[in-house]
Amino acid sequence: MISDLIERLGRDVSRRRLSFGRTTMGGSRTDGETVETVRLLIQNGGGSSSVRHGAERATYGIVAYAKAGTDIEERDLFDYDGKTYRIDSKRVPDERPIGDALSYIILGVTREEGIT
């Protein structure tokens, strides 16, 4: 049922996976990224604002659904509606009595932006 909604109402988004390397001083740096189009059903949630490091920030919580087997991981980024979102969590629901997973995955997603 949810996989049908993903197919009918979902959006194709650009999933970006960053790869990391080390600087000469041992710090972490972005080495590159791979981009792939994936289909997500996105449900916007509520938002909140806070002050971090002296700047006001808005944080939005979002739930996204993808078909099982979609290549998406925690810490991946995706671009949707001109904004960048980050995958914070990934869960494969297991709600059937026989123990097999359902045909979709649930993604916890956030978007932060500065408030001017």
**pLDDT tens by residue, 61-115:** 789 999 988 999 998 999 888 888 889 999 887 756 665 557 889 999 888 665 4
Q: Please name the helix (run of DSSP H) or strand (run of DSSP E) that holds residue 14, with its range, or none.
A: strand 11-22
- In the chain, how many domains are there? 1
pTM of the model: 0.73
Domain assignment of residue 6, given as a range: 2-114
What's the confidence (pLDDT) of residue 29? 72
**HSE-up of residue 91 (Cα within 13 Å, Cβ side):** 11
Specify the pLDDT at position 22: 78
Query: 101: which DSSP letter?
Result: P
Tens-place pLDDT, residues 17-56: 887 777 778 777 777 788 999 999 998 776 667 666 677 6
CATH number of the domain to which 70 belongs: 2.40.10.370
